[in-house]
Amino acid sequence: MSGMVDRAAVRRWVAGYEAAWRAPGTETLAGLFSQGATYLHSPYADPVVGLSAIRAMWESDRNGPDEIFAMSSEVVAVDGNVAIVRAVVRYGDPVGQEYTDLWVLRFDVEGRCSWFEEWPYWPGRGWSARED
């Protein structure tokens, strides 16, 4: 890749991300994330840096590869090597938790993600800075 991605490449990457979440182990992450990638669970979270740390975080965050969830996504924007994706994830059957998430993704020249930043929002949680 020339450092630029297109919508089709981003959709393939997102499909690979979902497939990796559903697969045992973390071997497929090397094809998704660069060695020095940074992963933030939210813009205020401490960054998880490096593929090894992302692998460890991946295994601790999920309930296992057989975790029941449905995910839908849409590529919102692509500019050069940066993409914005909106994902909706519903966990369980019946659904016990769901959230909408915006992902800010930066890709390296090989098409692997070098920056993954989430902006998650859960239904029923406050969106205002007001205390009440």
pTM score, whole prediction: 0.89
Distance of CA 33 to the CA centre of its chain: 11
Other Cβ atoms within 10 Å of 83 Cβ, number = 24
* Contact status, residue 73 vs residue 86, Cβ threshold 8 Å: yes
For residue 100, give the nearest of 72, 121, 71, 124 by alpha carbon. 121
Alpha-carbon Rg for the chain, nearest whole angstrom, is 15
- Domains of the chain, start order: 7-105 (3.10.450.50)
Task: Give the pLDDT score at 96.
Answer: 85
Q: What is the pLDDT along the chain (132 residues), one digit of tens a residue?
A: 456 899 999 999 999 999 998 899 999 999 999 999 999 999 999 999 999 999 999 999 888 778 888 899 999 999 999 999 999 988 888 988 888 999 999 999 999 999 999 999 888 776 666 665
Determine the length of the chain: 132
Distances (CA, A) of 3 to 12, 21, 76: 16, 26, 19
Other Cβ atoms within 10 Å of 50 Cβ, number = 16
> Terminus-to-terminus CA distance in the chain, angstroms?
49
